[in-house]
Amino acid sequence: MIHAAVSMSALGLGLGLLLGLAARRFHVETPPIVDEIDGILPGTNCGACGYPGCRGLAEAMAEGSAPVTACPPGGRDVALQLAAIVVPDADPETALSGMAEAEPTVAFIFEDHCTGCMKCFKRCPTDAIIGANKQIHTVVVDACIGCDACIEVCPTEAIVKRVKPTTLRGWYWTKPQSAFDADSRENAA
């Protein structure tokens, strides 16, 4: 009994030491830019970019295999911030390669189709879905980032992506045309 215990502990300690040394010896330095990129990304690990989590995307972006526009929930704002550190020399607008100022989208659950399976509830990276087992679920619009994670897991296809509804508070007038705009348009015509 004692022999077995001692030999196993010795083995464990020895191997542990070996592993520790190996980790020190063959340590791979992660470029600091990965941490920087990771700090800008939303950190929700929603998977909308196709990489394993925000960290995965950050590594790919540091390598240059992913564009700065790869994070759909982050939208233009995040892309602009990323462009500033990933491709600091390039003009931010060209780096975004015409990424339009997309209207923010949110998930919407058709209540008739919802079976209350809790799959989307568990998957939502920002806890934007509320509901309980066998109860209709609904989306908290203010917390939803429009990452599509819930749409993929819904077994009844009850969730769709919709343009985030404008509220009275968020509405504002469109930009009035300046005289210069009017002139150039006339000339163009």
Partner 1 sequence: MSLPSFAALFRPSQLFTIRGGVHPETRKSLSSESAIEDMPLPSLIRVPLQQHIGAEAEPLVQRDDLVLKGQLIGKARGPVSANIHAPTSGRVIAVGHFTAPHPSGLPVPTITIRPDGEDRWGPRLARLRPEDAPPEEIAAKVAEAGIVGMGGATFPAAVKLNLRAKFDLHTLIINGAECEPYLTCDDRLMRERAEELADGIGIMARALGVQRVIVAIESNKPQAIEAMQRHNRALGFTLRVKVVPTQYPMGSEKHLVKILTGKETPARALTAELGVVVHNAATAYAVHLAVRYGEPLISRVVTVSGRGVRRPANIRALIGTPVADLLAHCGGLAEEPERLLLGGPMMGQPIQNRRVPIVKGTNGVLALTAGETRERDVMPCIRCGLCVQVCPVGLTPFELNARIQADDLQGAAKVGLLDCIACGCCSYTCPSNISLVQTIHFAKGKLAEEESRKHKQEETRRLAAARKAREEAAAEAKRQAMARRKAEMEAKKKREAEAAAQAQTAAPEAEPVQHGDATP
154 is in an annotated binding site: yes
Q: Which of 49, 71, 82, 128 binds partner 1 (CB under 8 A)?
A: 128
Closest residue by Cα to residue 72 from 131, 147, 133, 10: 147
Per the DSSP assignment, residues forming a β-bridge with 139 are: 129
Q: Which of 26, 29, 89, 172 binds partner 1 (CB under 8 A)?
A: 172
Residue count at the site for partner 1 (CB under 8 A)? 33
74 in contact with partner 1 (CB under 8 A): yes
Residues near partner 1 (CB under 8 A): 42-45, 73-75, 77-78, 104, 125-128, 142-143, 145, 166-168, 170-180, 182-183
Binding-site residue ranges = 46, 49, 54, 71, 114, 117, 120, 124, 144, 147, 150, 154
